[in-house]
Amino acid sequence: MKANRALFKKYLSTIHQKEKHLIEKEFVHDDFVMDALEGYSQQTNTWDSFEAADKKFFQGQRNRRLLVFVATLFVSLSLGWYLIPTSSKKITAKKQQESAQVQKIKIHHKADIKKMTPAAPEERITPRQVILELKKSATTIVQNTEVLERIQHMPATQVEFNKQKERRLAIKMGRELYIQNFKVIDYRYYRSAERESRQQLSENEFGEQELKIAYLNLLNKAIEDFAQQDYKLSLLHFDEILQTYPDDANALFYGAMCLYNLSEYSQAESRFLKLQRIPFANFGEEAEWYLLHVYQRTKKEAAFSSLRKTIIDQKGFYMQKAENLEFN
């Protein structure tokens, strides 16, 4: 017979004296057990008090185990996050940053544009500078295209050939023409509505005659205003184009340049970013280069450093310029 919990409960709960005597006889030489039996016998609610204390003890144990479990889970999750490959976290952060950067293109009305304030002369990018850089960049793109075509006929591994093929597919260049020495995409080859250059008359819902100016006529007017550094009027014409053609590369690029020279850097940024997501890449390098200037003006150092490295790594026309451009 062992002096355990069940024995004490049996001793205190039984009403048969014979059973109690048998238990006492068994432990008559054990002073500790006999003192415990005598003490419990003198209290009428001894066992209830014992069970209450026992319940409190086990509840405390459960609470401590729960606390340890929660702490362990928290530490495990924290370690798991830090052990995730850094590249995956960087990709996620980059996507979130790009998503936050891309803003909705705003179409400005005459009243909005009238309130805009031109940037200081030394802070503007002049039309002449744009012309010179576009011409030099175009020469570089042609040379790079010729190199890619020659590589196609050179012995190479399948992996290298696939890389060159992917690069050619990614660079979709539209047909170009020049308006007052400014490069533009000739959308007459891609939009059936632009094949007629004459002005057209149509009736609106009230039966009134409306004059529809052909796309090239409106683009020519916008470019002319830009060349004369009338950025407000030029922007008004480019935004008129965007109302009909939201993905028009010409209006997006030159409209962004107008906004830059009017100190509307946030809206210029959104248009340069959108240029990277349209079918034609004719203004791709230029959009990145001038976007780099936007980040410099708006003091976005992280975005500036990241884009600057991208331009340098591409080894295009603007590589040397990007290397010389410092964040300040």
Cα-only R_g, the chain: 40
261 and 300 part of one domain: yes
* 205: in domain: no
Alpha-carbon distance of 280 to 171, in angstroms, equals 8
Phi, psi angle pair for 103, to nearest 5°: -110, 160
138 and 24 part of one domain: no
Domain count, the chain: 2
* 197: in domain: no
* 201: in domain: no
Contacts of 190 (CB under 8 A, 6+ apart): 174
State which amino acid sits at residue 77: L
CA distances from residue 87 to 83, 92, 307 in whole angstroms, order as listed: 11, 9, 18
- Please check whether residue 292 is in contact with residue 307, taking contact to mean a CB–CB distance below 8 angstroms: yes
147 and 45 part of one domain: no
Q: What is the pLDDT along the chain (328 residues), one digit of tens a residue?
A: 666 666 666 666 666 777 777 777 676 767 666 766 666 666 656 666 666 666 766 677 777 888 888 888 878 777 776 666 654 445 444 544 444 444 578 999 999 999 999 999 999 999 999 999 988 877 665 444 443 343 343 333 333 334 443 443 456 889 999 999 999 999 988 987 555 444 444 444 444 434 455 899 999 999 999 999 999 999 999 999 999 999 999 999 999 999 999 999 999 999 999 999 998 999 999 999 999 999 999 999 999 999 999 999 999 999 999 999 999 8
CA distances from residue 7 to 13, 56, 116 in whole angstroms, order as listed: 10, 21, 94
**What confidence score (pLDDT) does residue 4 get?**
62
Alpha-carbon distance of 261 to 265, in angstroms, equals 9
* 45: in domain: yes
Phi-psi region of 315 (alpha: psi -120 to 50; beta: other; left: phi over 0): left
Which of 52, 82, 112 is the last residue in one of the domains? 82
Q: If DSSP codes are grouped into helix, strand and coil, which group holds residue 212?
A: strand
* 263: in domain: yes
Which of 20, 54, 82 is the last residue in one of the domains? 82
CA distances from residue 236 to 114, 119, 133, 241, 258 in whole angstroms, order as listed: 10, 17, 24, 9, 10
268 and 133 part of one domain: yes
136 and 269 part of one domain: yes
**What confidence score (pLDDT) does residue 197 get?**
44
To which H or E segment does residue 178 belong?
strand 176-179
Domain span at residue 64 reads 5-82
* 202: in domain: no
Kindly give the interhelix angle for 86-101 and 265-275, rounded to the nearest 10 degrees: 120
249 and 303 part of one domain: yes
Which of 82, 108, 127 is the last residue in one of the domains? 82
231 and 303 part of one domain: yes
Six-digit token string for 49: 């008090």
CATH of residue 279 = 1.25.40
Which residue in this structure is represented by tokens 């003890």?
A: 57
- Please check whether residue 101 is in contact with residue 93, taking contact to mean a CB–CB distance below 8 angstroms: no
161 and 243 part of one domain: yes
* 193: in domain: no
